[in-house]
Amino acid sequence: MADQTPVFQIQRVYLKEASLEQPNSPAILLEQEQPSVDIQLGVEGTPVAEGVFEVSVTATVHTKIKDKTVFLVEAKQAGIFEIRNLEAEQLNQLMGIACPQIVYPYLRGNVADLVQRAGFPPVHLSEINFQAMYEQQRASTEGAESTSLPQ
């Protein structure tokens, strides 16, 4: 009989992708106005091999003064996790809550560092409640499924 003990291990955490654009420099740097900041986050998980998954958290930080971009940063931090012998619901919760919670602090540090190296005050991404985010996505998915059922 095969061992059915649940397994959850971090294999690796890494910066998968990062980009920075300052399309209106240097003129925009002379502006005295406070920029507006728009931050978007996303989480995705994909199987890599049997019992091995990549979970990534993406942040897009877009700062503007009026209609001109000051800077645009996009970064994707990922982790490879070994997850075995769990029910589908437990697997989904781990990939939607626990894995992003492990990866996110690295993303926060990388975004702040990238923005600071570009010559701006660092942007500190706020803490995220990944459980609430996961439950909200699940509720909206279930709501969409219930409204799209044939009558």
Q: What is the tens place of the pLDDT at every residue in 115-124?
A: 999 988 889 9
Is the pLDDT confidence value at 143 over 70? no
Q: Is 150 helix (H, G, I), strand (E, B) or coil?
A: coil
Listed in order, strand segments (DSSP E) in the chain are 7-21, 36-49, 52-65, 68-84
- pLDDT at position 122 is 87
Is the pLDDT confidence value at 141 over 80? no
- pLDDT at position 70 is 95
pLDDT digits (tens, 9 = 90+) for 25-80: 999 888 889 999 999 999 999 999 999 999 999 999 999 999 999 999 999 999 99
Share of the chain above pLDDT 90, in %: 79
Fold of 7-144: Bacterial Protein-export protein SecB (3.10.420)
Find residue 41's DSSP bridge partners: 59
- The amino acid occupying position 30 is L
For the chain, domain boundaries:
7-144
